[in-house]
Amino acid sequence: MEIKHIIFFDTVCKYKSFSKAANELFITQQAVSKKIKELEEELNTQLFIRSSFGVELTEEGDYFLEQSSMILKKRDEIMQYYTNISNSKRNSLKIGISYGIKVLLRKAIFQEFEKNNPEIDLEIGEMLNQDVENGIVDKSLDIGITINPDSIPNIRSLSLFHEPICCIVNKHHHFASRLSLTFDEILNETIVMADQNCKSYYSFMEQCARHGKKPNIITVPDVMSIYENCFHDNVLGFSLERLSKLMQFDELIAIPLSDQYAYWDVCLIWNEGNKNMNHIQGLSNFLLANTNQ
């Protein structure tokens, strides 16, 4: 007798039908009938009374159902016990990614890490840059991927890659024919950029302060709104070179900024006091080795 015989028997009892049991088990009705017949032959007794209305248990079938139910219950308890042991050996890493960064990472990179490290589960969420840093400080996150992180005691930072910033204008803008622009040149323009929820806003304002300028700024909640504003109006927007290549709007032109600070410094950050340092280091090394530059 195999456990499969008991499962088939239990399913037929549940539905009081060989055909419905077959549907539940994703096999043919003939396969179910064969297994029940094998079971009856081994026990040398009849378990079901078959009729045009379905099947009913015999007295011997009632007894077998009582005993087999205990067997299946015990099997489930054993499986759950070993599942719990397996889960207790797994480790979870919580990762916070600043908005806008995930599209810059190679597709499926985290799935590849989990495949190579089956004992580690990754929990990934996108959030505001500041929320990533706060999560690392209070250890609600194990590792963060963020933009130009602040210098914070006990928080380690490792540059993952630099992503150049470019200016977006439509074909009718007076900068449309330029091959590059400097920061000084754009400060007299009406500039469309991400709002105060993004770290790039504050980085830009710091640059403006260095240049002693207070530009006319239109803030928007997302990247697509930047492109829409630039498409319809004679304004200048900020985006990333790689995003601009992905967008490929016929009426819009991406112009590189030539200044040395015109990039996102995308960094890994973690708390030195985190208890998962071994796995954090493993993930950091993996991302460094497998991130497109």
Q: What's the pLDDT tens digit per position in 240-257?
A: 888 887 777 788 999 998
Query: Do 238 and 244 meet the contact criterion of CB atoms below 8 Å apart?
Result: no
Check whether 154 has a pLDDT greater than 60. Answer: yes
**Average pLDDT of the residues in 236-240:** 89
Check whether 88 has a pLDDT greater than 70. Answer: no
Distances (CA, A) of 22 to 25, 106, 275: 5, 44, 50
Q: What CATH number has the domain spanning 3-88?
A: 1.10.10.10
Options 3.40.190.290, 3.40.50.300, 3.30.930.10, 3.90.1570.10; which CATH number does 163-262 get? 3.40.190.290
Give me the chain's average pLDDT, please: 87
Same fold, 91-160+265-290 and 163-262: yes
**Average pLDDT of the residues in 178-200:** 87
Run of H or E residues at 65: helix 59-88
Q: pLDDT band for position 63 (50/70/90)?
A: very high
**Average pLDDT of the residues in 18-22:** 89
DSSP result, 190-254 = EEEEE-TTSHHHHHHHHHHHHTT---EEEEESSHHHHHHHHHHSS-EEEEEHHHHHHH--TTEEE
pLDDT given for residue 46 in this prediction: 93
The least confident of 113-127, 168-182, 196-210 is 196-210
Cα separation of 285 and 142, whole Å? 15
> Would you kindly state where each structural domain of the chain is located, as residue ranges?
3-88, 91-160+265-290, 163-262
Homologous superfamily (CATH) for 91-160+265-290: Periplasmic binding protein-like II (3.40.190.10)
Distances (CA, A) of 138 to 98, 197, 266, 272: 17, 20, 21, 12
Distances (CA, A) of 99 to 117, 244, 263: 26, 16, 16
Cα separation of 9 and 137, whole Å? 56
Q: Cβ contacts of residue 125 below 8 Å, gap of 6+?
A: 94, 95, 96, 97
The answer to whether the pTM exceeds 0.85 is no
Q: pLDDT band for position 188 (50/70/90)?
A: confident
pLDDT given for residue 292 in this prediction: 61
